[in-house]
Structures are given as C-alpha cells and as structure tokens.
Amino acid sequence: MFLIAGLGNPGEKYMRTRHNIGFLILDEIAGDISWNKDKYAQADYWSGEFLSHTAILVKPHTFMNLSGKAIKELMDRDGIDMNRLVVVYDDIDLPVGTFKLSFDRGAGGHNGLKSIISELEEKAFLRIRVGIAPVDEEGKAIRPTDTSSYVLKEFSKTDLDKDLALAKDIKEAIKTFMEFGKEVAMNKYN
C-alpha cells in the first residue's frame, strides 16, 4: 500500500494559495473521488485502487506546520512502509510551472516537511516539489524576500494554471515510482 500526501492548509481562506499546491495537485490527480474525513488523523483521505495499486490519498487538516501528525497516524494505522510514502508540496526555490522529485533530503526550510521528518523520525521518502517561485525574463526562479507572506497569497490565474497543468506528469511520475521505484522515476522526471 502507498500513501500519497498533498500538503496545504485547511479552509476556504487558504484554498487557492501557493502553500496549498499540494492539496490542489492531489485534487487534480485524484479526479472525482469522494473524500472521507478521519477525525483521529485530522485529514481528508481516500483509499482504494489508484493507478493499479492500493493507495491512500491524504490531505492533512492539521495546518501545514503539523502535517506530520496526520501522516504518521495513517502510516502507523495502515502499516505503510516509509519507502511507499509520497509527499507533494510547494517549493519556493523552483519556478512556477515546474516540479522535481527528490528523496532522502532535509526539509529545506519547509515547515510541513519538518513536521513529517520529526514525526516519522526519518527522511527517506519521495518528495514531489512543485514550483511556486516567480520567474525572471530567463525563466529562473526569483526567491521572494518575504516568503511567509508570499506562500500564503493566492495564485494568479496564470501561475495556478501553469502548476495545475503539471498534474498529468506528476500523476505519471507517481505511477512510475509505484511500478519501478524512485531511481527510475527520478531519472525520468528530473
């Protein structure tokens, strides 16, 4: 069984913010599923057959900085191995409209990842980092000076469309990871 988590903050106020791209991408790749609520894990989740594999899709409702609590609860409850965890989240250092896969890295200043690493006491899991940074004329990321404010602002329609257009490739990257492992997925999609 795999656990695929999209990170974000709960509530209408945050729905279309840059920090919620993990939720938004998960909604795109999941399609028309019916989300369930798990009061113990404090998350929306769905479990079943996903991309020909048994999986749990989860959107923690603990707010970003406590995402690890919900993920740990579901992993422990369902006996999911660390090497079957995928986390989709925003990356302020990648240009909007891009994504990268990484494995066994630190949190890179991302509080949601810090929480996951702290709760699981492990960092060896697959990350799908979705770019939210503005770009210069050459398409290179420009890191905003006030990152806290920037990530909590709503996407422009253009930037949101660029990131949501990645959903098909992200879904294929997850499928490749499920079928062939992290090395094959990272070589193909990075």
Residue type, 54: T
Is 19 among the catalytic positions? yes
What CA–CA distance (Å, rounded) separates 186 from 190?
5
Catalytic residue, chosen from 19, 53, 61, 110, is 19
Cβ contact 186:144 at 8 Å = no
User: Residues 6 or more apart from 166 whose CB is under 8 A from it?
Assistant: 25, 97, 98, 99, 130
Q: Mark out the alpha helices in 85-166 (DSSP H runs).
A: 111-120, 147-151, 157-164
* 3-state SS, residue 86: strand
Angle at 12 between CA 8 and CA 17, to 5 degrees: 45
Please identify every residue annotated as catalytic.
Answer: 19
